[in-house]
Chains A and B, each alone.
Chain A
Amino acid sequence: MPLSVSLSIEGDTTVIELEGELDAKTAPDFHQTIEKAAGHGTSTVEIRMAGVGYMASAGLRSLVFAQQKVGEHVTIKVVGAIEPVARTIRTAGLDRSVVLSDD
C-alpha cells in the first residue's frame, strides 16, 4: 500500500501527515518531506500518524533522521499512532527522544 505524505505549517508547528504504510519501500517519500520540514525553522514538527496502519523499522530510521535533520532544539511529536506502531517506537527506545501523543 502506498504512503501519502502532506506538509503544512500551523503557527510555530510544521505538520507532516502520513497515511498508508511506512516501510522500506515508502520511507524515502517521508524522508523527502522531512528535508523540506527541516527548512521551515519551526519549534515543533508534528507527525500525524493516525492514518498509518503499518510501520516497519524503516519508519524508525525516518524518525531518527528527522531528529537529526531538525536538530535537538526542535521537538518532534508523533500524534495518533495506533498501538502496534507506538509499540514499535517504544521498542526502539525512541519514545525518549520523540514525544508520543494521542492527540
Chain B
Amino acid sequence: MDEAVKTARMSAELHVPATLGALGDIAALVLRLAGSAGLGKGASYRIRLAVDELATNIVMHGYRGGDGRITVRGRSGPGRVQISIEDRAPAFDPVQGRLPPEPHTAPERRRIGGLGIHLALTSVDEFDYVRRDGRNISTLTVMAEGTDPCPPRP
C-alpha cells in the first residue's frame, strides 16, 4: 500500500525553565517537528531521546538544580529535523563529556553517569556543539530512516 506522508516545513522556538517539569513541553515540540517532517516512529524516537537526554543533563548537571533557562529551537523539512538547545550554564561540550558504557563491569560497580550523553550522541545523524556569548549551543539533526546511512552504533 502506498501511503504518501504529508510533510511540511515548520520552525518553532520554546523557552522553558530548566526543570524536569519542562521535559514534557520539550518532548511535545520535538515530536511535533518530527511529525511535520514525516519522520517514522524510529527516527522520531531517536530525536526525542537525544533532545531529552541533553535537556535533562542541563537541568541536573548544567545548572545543578539552580535557576536557569533552556531555549529549544527547531526546524523541520521533508525527512529531516534539526533542533538546537541553548543554555547559560558553565561550558559543557557533550562530546567531551560522553562516557561510553562499561558492559563488563558488574552492575553494583557500574558508573551510570554520562550514559545519557552517549545515548544522545548515538541517536542522531549529526551533532554540533559551540560555546558562544556565554551559551552552550548543541545542534542535533535526525533524518528519516532510509534517507541516509544508519546512525553510528555505539
Contacts and interface: CB of A to CB of B under 8 A. Distances in A.
Interface of A: 1, 23-25, 54, 56-58, 60-61, 64, 67-68, 72, 83-84, 88, 91-94, 96-97
Contacts of B106: 72, 97
A57 B61 CA distance: 14
B119 to A, nearest CB: 5
Nearest to A84: B45
Contacts of A91: 101, 118-119, 122, 154
A34 to B, nearest CB: 13
A20 to B, nearest CB: 12
Contacts of A25: 20-21, 23-24
A35 B17 CA distance: 31
A24 B112 contact: no
A56 B116 contact: yes
B115 interface: yes
Contact of B49 (A56, A64, A94, A96): A56
A64 B111 CA distance: 10
A61 B49 CA distance: 15
Given A60-B112, A91-B154, A68 B107 contact: yes
Contacts of B23: 23-25
A61 B107 CA distance: 10
Interface of B: 20-21, 23-24, 42, 45-46, 48-49, 52-53, 56, 59-60, 101-104, 106-108, 110, 112, 115-116, 118-119, 122, 154
Given A54-B45, A84-B42, A23 B52 contact: yes
- 8 A-B pairs with least C-beta separation: A93-B103, A57-B116, A67-B107, A93-B101, A25-B20, A84-B45, A97-B107, A24-B56
Contacts of A54: 45, 48-49
Contact of A67 (B102, B108, B118): B108
Contacts of A94: 103, 107
Given A67-B107, A72-B108, A84-B46, 7 more contacts: A23-B52, A54-B49, A57-B53, A58-B56, A60-B115, A68-B108, A84-B42
Contact of A57 (B42, B45, B115): B115
18 contacts: A23-B52, A23-B56, A25-B20, A25-B24, A54-B45, A54-B49, A56-B49, A56-B53, A57-B53, A57-B115, A57-B116, A60-B112, A68-B107, A83-B42, A84-B45, A88-B49, A91-B101, A93-B102
